[in-house]
């Protein structure tokens, strides 16, 4: 029950405060998915790391994240890295060890994911450009 309350408070804060602020920062990494119901672009600020032509991230709420639900419906995404948009295809990797993966990603974001996350899920995006 406590983790359910923590999830609700975290999601409320992210949706109404943090994400609104982060989206307007020109060099914040953004993930753009297509809304599974609306068909409209949905942008989510997040952290991760580019490795070659792949971008790796860990979702803190896994299958419950709205952007994960959107990826499941349509894996074609865009990622804004250092102010530049890249097309890609997202892959949900439930067999990957998200705790281990977080060790290879930027530590500031990884700390937040570990602290607030309750259902971690690794995601790899194969970038086209």
Q: pTM higher than 0.85, yes or no? A: no
d(CA 128, CA 86): 7
The structure tokens 């032509």 sit at: 53
Asked whether the beta carbons of 49 and 58 are under 8 A apart, the reply is: no
Q: Quick one: DSSP state of residue 48?
A: -
Asked whether the beta carbons of 19 and 67 are under 8 A apart, the reply is: no
Q: Has residue 10 got a pLDDT over 60? A: no
Considering the chain, what is the average pLDDT of its residues?
86
Domain range annotation of the chain: 2-127
Helix (H, G, I), strand (E, B) or coil at 20: helix
Is domain 2-127 given the CATH code 2.40.128.50 in the classification? no
- What integer pLDDT is reported at residue 26 of this predicted model? 55
The residues near 28 (Cβ < 8 Å, ≥ 6 apart) are 22, 45, 80
């Amino acid at each position: 029950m406590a983790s359910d309350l923590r999830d609700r408070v975290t999601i409320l804060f992210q949706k109404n405060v943090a994400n609104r602020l982060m989206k307007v920062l020109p060099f914040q990494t953004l993930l753009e998915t297509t809304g599974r119901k609306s068909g409209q672009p949905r942008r989510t600020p997040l952290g991760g790391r580019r490795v070659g032509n792949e971008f790796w991230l860990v979702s803190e709420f896994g299958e419950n994240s709205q952007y994960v639900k959107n990826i499941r419906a349509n894996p074609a995404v865009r990622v804004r890295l250092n102010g530049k948009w890249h097309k890609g295809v997202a892959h949900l990797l439930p067999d990957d060890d998200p705790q281990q993966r977080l060790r290879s990603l930027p530590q500031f974001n990884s700390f937040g994911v570990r602290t607030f996350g309750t259902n971690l899920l690794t995601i790899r995006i194969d970038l086209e450009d």
